[in-house]
Amino acid sequence: MPRPLWTGAISFGLVTIPIKVVSATEDHSISFHQYHREDMGRIRTRKVCEIDGEVLTQEQIGKGYEVAKDRTVPVTDEELDRMPLPTAKAIEIVSFVDADSIDPVRIGDSYYLAVDGQVAAKPYTLLRKALERSEKVAVAKFAWHNRERLGLLRVRDDAIVLHSMRWPDEIRSPESLAPRETELDEDEIERAVQLTDSMGLDDISGFRDRYREALEELIAAKSEGKPLPAAPGGEEEEPGKVMDLMAALNASVKAAKETRGEEAPAGEATVHEMTPGRTRARKKAAPASKKTAAGAAARKTGAGKTASGKAATGKAATGKAATGKAAAGKTAAKKQSARKTAARKRTAS
């Protein structure tokens, strides 16, 4: 078990549960040191007294509050511990609420609450069972790091978790950040809902920190004198581009379904760029040719069947008529050719 960060008790009505607070998370971030570029000397931060210039250790440093420009009131850790505060060594539950009523933006760091001794096992289990059966979370107050805090208690597996919370007046209003009223088509909203369904997951435990992995590869390559990993290819999207929103939604739904191994419906649009201030020209359908034009083209070219197929509007009658006229044209041409041949023979004789 990790080293306890705080010891105290959960105050649950008249029930007291001795607990130890243990961090529920680990920080796997890679930390860098500061160094002098010229000689690679390490840069260190030192705490120096501004009066005599002496470098101090942590044991020589105390707390104080500046009440005036030239007056500081010292406060010791012992005085802080003796403050008449009910939450000084206890996590005092003040209410039980529905989990959905808590704004996630107020939730901060997470800690596991472990039992402190066998005597705490039964009341600890009692509180856990009560939270599970009621499907509620507990709101509590506790004092830590020289201030009173607001906390949230909930159940995770067989343990009780404490989430630190911000006070209501510590949350900034997003009113000034909200966009202006925007018109949306119902089709766009429905397509966005379909995208949320396509991207739905039952478990997000498979996600991992790819930035940290890439950073580890970079450090390993530099330490071993190997070539640095190549940056992934791909076309960077230029800022300020206006996109066809509906086409982008269609393409996103298609890509999400392909990722999940589902077959995307045929005929869905892809992403198209839109030039600001211009509209895309619509293609006009070519007007259907009249029957007389089709017949004339057939007689002129002698390929009445082909011309009739191109000019037809899809109606069977038009195609048949054009074919008949083309055949008549061919017969007349043959008769005329025969007459010319007979005339040349008579002249020659």
Backbone angles phi, psi at 39, to 5 degrees: -125, 10
| pLDDT at site 240 | 53
* Residue 317 pLDDT > 50: no
Check: CB of residue 30 under 8 Å from CB of residue 215.
Answer: yes
**Residues whose CB falls within 8 Å of the CB of residue 293, separated by 6 or more in sequence, listed in order:** 311
Q: Which amino acid is at 53?
A: G
pLDDT in tens, 234-287: 555 555 555 677 787 788 878 877 776 765 454 444 444 444 444 444 444 444
DSSP state of 35: B
| pLDDT at site 154 | 96
| pLDDT at site 143 | 84
Which residues make beta-bridge pairs with 48? 55
pLDDT in tens, 114-132: 999 889 999 999 999 999 9
Q: Look at residues 312, 284, 286, 282 and name the one whose alpha carbon lies nearest to residue 297.
A: 312
Q: Which amino acid is at 321?
A: A
Q: What is the pTM of this model?
A: 0.56
| pLDDT at site 1 | 65
Q: Look at residues 126, 148, 98 and name the one whose alpha carbon lies nearest to residue 16.
A: 126
The mean-pLDDT minimum among 97-101, 178-182, 203-207, 286-290 falls in: 286-290
| pLDDT at site 251 | 82
For the segment 8-28, the average pLDDT, to the nearest whole number, is 87
CA–CA dist 266, 272 (Å, integer): 17
Q: What is the mean pLDDT of the chain?
A: 76
* Residue 233 pLDDT > 90: no
pLDDT band at residue 315 using 50, 70 and 90 as cut-offs: very low
For the segment 303-318, the average pLDDT, to the nearest whole number, is 43
Backbone angles phi, psi at 329, to 5 degrees: -60, -40
When comparing pLDDT for 329 and 113, which is higher? 113
DSSP string, 87-135: TSSEEEEEEEEEGGGS-GGGEEEEEEEEESSGGGHHHHHHHHHHHHHHT
**Residues whose CB falls within 8 Å of the CB of residue 105, separated by 6 or more in sequence, listed in order:** 166, 171
CA–CA dist 46, 57 (Å, integer): 9
pLDDT in tens, 23-40: 888 888 888 999 999 999
pLDDT band at residue 224 using 50, 70 and 90 as cut-offs: confident
pLDDT in tens, 74-89: 998 888 777 776 666 7
| pLDDT at site 179 | 80
Which ranges of 112-206 does DSSP label H, i.e. alpha helix?
121-134, 186-198
The mean-pLDDT minimum among 80-89, 168-177, 208-217 falls in: 80-89
User: Helix axis angle, 245-259 relative to 186-198, nearest 10°?
Assistant: 20
Q: Give burial (CB, 10 Å; 0-12/13-18/19+) of 143.
A: buried
* Residue 345 pLDDT > 70: no
